[in-house]
Structure formats: C-alpha cells, structure tokens
Structure 1
C-alpha cells in the first residue's frame, strides 16, 4: 500500500525503515540507486511516474526550488512534482533491506555475505569482530578478533584464580604478592628465629604473642621511658647495669607528673568556676522555661479555640458549597429558563404594542403632534427590543456553555458545515475556530481547542492544524503551575471507529503556553500538520459535512483544591 508523505499524521501505521550503516554491497543494481544522490535508496519513496528516491532527498528537492520536474527527465514523467504525489514505497524498502552485503569485518578476514537487514545481528556474533579481553576489569588491555581473544583467555595473566592456601579469588599476576603479604593461610617462619616449624600466617601471630621461646621481653622501667627489649638474660643484665639511667628516667618522669598535677589543679579550678557560672545560667534558664511553659499553655488554649472555630467555619463552608452546587445544578438553570421565557413574552407584548401604535398612527382624526409622539415611542420600543435581544443572546450562550461543559478532562467537539467553514478560512474571513471550554474537574483547569481548517504555519493550505489552549479559570490560584498533564488530540473515524487519528504530547514546563494564564487564554500549542486534507476529506473522517474532534486530558495526579 503506497502512503502519501503529505498525508501522514500521528496514526499507528507501521513503516519499514532502511537498515542503518554504510555497508559494502556485493552487487548494487542501478534500480536501487536514488535518482538524486545516486547512492543506495534509503527509506525509498516513489513518484507518480514510478521513479524512486530517498525520502530525505525528496524533501530536499522541494526546499531547493518551488516548481520542479522529476529527476528522471523522461517523457512519461509528470510535468511538475507535488509533495502530496510522492509516496512511501514499502516494496522497495523490503528489497533494499534484502540486498546482499559484505560483513563489516571483511578486512579482518570474514568472508560472510548476508542480507543488509541481518548485518547487525551477524556482526554481534562474527568471529572476526574486534573485542576486549573479558578480564579488562582486572587490568588486561588486550584487544583482538574474537577467535584470538578466546585463545588468549586461557593464558591471560589477569585471569581470576583461586589461592591454593586460603581459597580466595585473586588475579594470577598478583599471586606472589598475595602469598607474601596477605594470605592468612600461607606458611611463614617465626620472625624471632626460635626454630619452630613454619605456621600459617594467622596462627603465627598467636605463636609470637604467646608461645615463642624467643619472644622479646621489655625492661621493667618501660613505663618511665626505657625502651630496652631482648631475651630474659639480657634484660636482667640491663637492669643491673643501667641503675643510674633508670634513676634519671624516674626523676624526669616524676617531675613531669608534678607539672601535670599542677596543670590538672588549675584546670579543676577553672572547671569549678565554670560550673558556678553554668549553674547560675541553668537556674535562669529554668525560670525562663517556666515562663515559656505558662505562655505555651495559654497558646494551647488559644489554638484549641481556633480549631473549634475552624471546624465550625468548615462545616458552614461545606453546607454553603452543597447549597451552591444544588442551585447551580437545578435552580439556576430553571431560573434562567424562566427569565428567558419572561423576556420572550415581553418581546411579544412589545411587538404587539408597536404594531397597534403603528396602526393607530396611520388612522384619520389624529392631531398634528401625534405622529411625532408615536415615532418617538416606536424608537424607544425598538431600543428596548434590541436590549432584550442582547440579553436573550447572552442567556442562550450561557445555557449552551452550561449544557455542553465537560468536567472530566474530555472534550467532544462536533464541527458542522465543514466545507463552508473551510472556504471562509481560505478566504481569510475566519481563519480559526474555538471549541467550547472544558475542565479537568469542577474546580480544575479550564481549557479549549483551536482548529485551523485550512492549516496554519507549515500546514497552511495542505493540512488541518489542531491546537490545545489553556484558558484563565476561576480557580487558577489553587492549582499547580505550570500545566503538566498529558494531552491526546484525536480526529474520530466515523466509518469503522477503528482508525482514529491521534497525536499525544506532554507539555513543556518551560513554555509560556502552559504557565498560569495572565490573559483570557495562553498561546495555543499543538500540531500544525495534524492531518492532510486528502486524508481528512474522505468518508472515513468527513460525513454529512461534519467532523468530530476529541481532546483527552489525563487527570491523574491532579490534587483537587
């Protein structure tokens, strides 16, 4: 099925795309080359005369000059190409995707030929693909084709192995360092040289601390600064020969203790003084806390009274809201209906009176001043009738808005007299139409739709443009801004109800179109190329000179005010 480029909108028609990349083709038939760029067809399109081009090349042709011929320049070619007469060519796209190509790793030795569309899948498993050693996280930087890397893995010095002593996972080239410094089960000799057999590292620590016969002993005067250590015999000899040295260390240590004692006494005095200050401060704070507690109790009572008053006011507000809702649903409509009927009856009476006055004014036997008075009365009555007509129109409009308003975020817009309204848009009389307002809830966002039947911007003259508008509402101050709800715009299928055209978007929070309105309505936002006239003006979407537009706003996540 050929699909016009100019008629595409946001429908759900699957389009086959040309595979990515720039492969080397085994053999490229000229019929699969673009008439403009002379390269392989990418996303092929076809003209009415049967010539093929890349889709992007086709669009570039229209950017270069306003009126062009087909690049084929044959007698059978159409005299002038039109954008809406260029169609996507699914058949050519399938054939291009099936063209045989060489593997991208041909230079590395791969001689496989596959279809273009299967090239990516083949390259993922190609034996000649350049890959990284799987032990790259351990520090290996070797790269090569897949077959060479598989041979490399068995001898890679960065591969993971299990320690023969402790069973931990280690890297092969770190095995020696692990055993000499870290492995808790690697056997090591006693560092004191006691001649004990080698023990695992974690057991050797206990041997050195407890069971080693050559464990060094410290001098008894270690606590006063003597650093001598050795065997038991050497320590005893040292203690006999170093008495003077030990006395000197003891004297120095005692003097330092005295200095420390003086410092401690001064610190104690400072602490005592600070304690007294802190005590007075605490007493003062306790007095202030008592005062604050009294104030807090008073505040609690005041808050309790305010809560009671708030509850009472809330109950009154709820009661009033219910009354207002009831009035808005029933009494207001009935009252407006009665007012309209009263105005209509008044208009009929006035018309009868005017007719009677005119009849009397034209009879015989009236004075010279009478016709003038009758004319003034007629003019007064006509002004009154005009005012009544205005009020009737306003009331009718209010009733129509009230009857058609939606409060669930869904707008169903029926546009009659499509042909006449489109012609008015073409003539410049009425470029766009606005729908009736609709709301996300009774107190929610106020919105409407705007349509350009003859298109706007890029779609002018070829498409119908559809936009979404955020309006100023009565409850905007209570709503979160910017407006962030998902919007779905649809043109409804009146034939099978299965081919609705739709476009979905989420508002850009930085756009002025979705900020809190400062005027009656924000700038419209939507799709200038929503649907082409060739698609719209078919039995599927245009029936009895009427189209239906539906707008759905996602109301999830909106917290009611």
Structure 2
C-alpha cells in the first residue's frame, strides 16, 4: 500500500481536525461505511511532525499512539509554566528557559526561579567584573564603585600641588618633576620654601648665599663668591677687568683677521676666467668724467689653483689714448702665494670680451680683444710687493658711442670676460 502524506492533529479517538479547519471532525459521521472507514484507517501516513525531523510512518490508526510517544510532539510543560514544548526539547526547556525552573546563581549561589533569575543576572553583586578603567583587576560588582573611587591604579587624581589630573599610578612620577612641589633652597638661605620651578631663578637672582662666578669669567677672572660680595668685587677690580677684556678683544681681532683671510681664499676664482659684472655703469661713466683717472678694479683671480694671481681694471672714461672717448681695460699681475714655483715672465694669452646681451643669443655680436704678452715687457715679470700700477691692455677697448649701440649695456649693466689661456700662442 502506498504512503499517503496525510497530517492530522488528534484530539480524541475518532475526532480529527483537517489541515484548513480548527473544528473537530467526527470521522464516524462522515464515513458511516465500516469498510470505507477500515480502508481509510489502514492508509499509511507520515507523522504530523515529519517536517520537524520525525521519521515515523505507519497506518493512520496507529498515529494517535505514536503521537503519545513522539519526541517532536508538543506537550504541556511539566513545571506547569503553560508552555507547549516538544518532548525532545523538554529537558532543555526545564533546565534553561522555563520560567518556573529552580536554579542557583553561579556567583552568589542563591536559588531563583527562571523568571527572577533573568532579572538577577547582570545585577548580582557577587559577579566578578573587570574594572572599566582597564587596570586589569577583576572584582565583585558590589565593590566596583569603591574600587574605582579609591583603589583603582588607573583612576584620575589631582596633583595636590599643581591641581592637574593624572592617572593614579603615574602621580608619584609626576611629583618627582612637578614644578609646584615645595622644596627648600639648597643653600639654606632665609627663604624657607619655594616651588621647584622657581629654584633656578631664586639661585641666580635672589639667594643671598648662593656662590656665583664673576661676570668677567669668560674673560679670565676666577673670582667666586656670594651675591653680597660680588658687588664689592666688581667695584674694586674695574682696572683688572678692563685689561682682561682688552686682551679678549685683541684675540678676537686676530681671529677675525684670520677668518677673513681664510674666507677670502675660499671665495677666490681659480678657473683662469673672470666674468666681471659692472652695475650702474652710466653713473660710473658720468662720475669718471668729473674725477680724473677714476679706475674700477675687479676681484682678484688665479689662472689655476696654484697659478698666477691676476686682476683686471677698467677706466669708464678711458685712459691715455682713449681718454674721454673710450673705456679702457687692463690686466695686471699681483703678487701671489705660489710665485716662487711659477715660470717667469708670464706668457699666457689674455683676451677681453664685452658681451652683447641680446635677447637672441644667435644674433649677439660680442667685442673681443686679446694679446700675447711680450716677454721683454716689465709688466709680465715676477711682481714685487708693489705691483705695476697700470698693467697691460687696451686704452681704446670700446668707444662710448659703440657702447650705446646694440645691447652691450642692458639694465645699466655691462659684462666683461677676462680669459687666460696658456695653450694659445697667437692672439685671437
């Protein structure tokens, strides 16, 4: 016989409820034929709790007996809490969820019903809890407030000296450096107590017993004494202090001279090429016309690191044959540090270039004059301590008229290059 998936709730023998009605059906009234009734009751059906996992299936007449033992069938709670609980869940219900269950609190060991236990849990004074300040201590709930107020190492406490708040376990360390902690003057002067942060100022400016070095200590005075003796010392040793300061000034002057010399050496040009920038050139030309022989001199430069020391000079209003019409340029040899190692006379070619400052470099037309020194000329012999006053060069380097043309003078500035080349043997 095939199994028919029929599901009924059994209320009493011969009475059933259909799946869509809650009104009991008297099967005997519907099926008055005993044979039909027998056939129906012999039909194989599943347990009404088939979907909950019950695997039982048998004749319909045996369904009621099965439901009396089916572990998935709901029955009234044995503790009479009013709930309908499947037999399979009854044990857990009685133990964990039944409002009428009797159980003890795991912390205070008092007995409660299930309902009152739910209210008790979370409020039990004996439940151990970690301190909310994260101090690491676990303590009963009933003592937690007192712990946080008076025992917790992470509670905030005000410093009794500066009133700022600190975590309790850092307060001792704070007291070791708190600026408002009262201390005594180490010299045991008449000031009994002062704040730690005021001690340094007290020792320097107020303590009458504190020993101080003379204010001329850096100059060499070795006197040390209390404040009341310092004024007398200063009054009685003015002459000595003056001599000490004069000695210091003298040493500093020597040091400054030495530093200037070293700085000057560091700033020297050792490339053999000088780019000479002359600003406010119009004013210099105008001034040269009113001052006879006005000469501009360039910074000194060397032909190489251990080479000849040279200097260029320029007369804005000309010199000699170029006076009043041209600018004149010259090169002079200065006494250098390495003259004893160099060959004399000086024989390197010298060129002067006046740059055309055109905005288009391809169209620039520079003015260049150069020469090779004559070995017989005295200007190129080894210089004495007093170099030649003029040097050698071009009295008519560039005329004043030519200077106004093109872009030789731009923004009232001219650029002149002086280049020393030891490799060239003819003028270019």
TM-score by length of 1: 0.30
**Which structure shows the bigger proportion of residues in strand conformation?**
2
TM-score by length of 2: 0.38
**Which structure shows the bigger proportion of residues in helix conformation?**
1
Work out which of the two has the higher radius of gyration on C-alpha atoms and give 1 or 2. Answer: 2
Q: Which structure ranks higher in relative contact order (CA pairs < 8 Å, sequence separation ≥ 6)?
A: 1
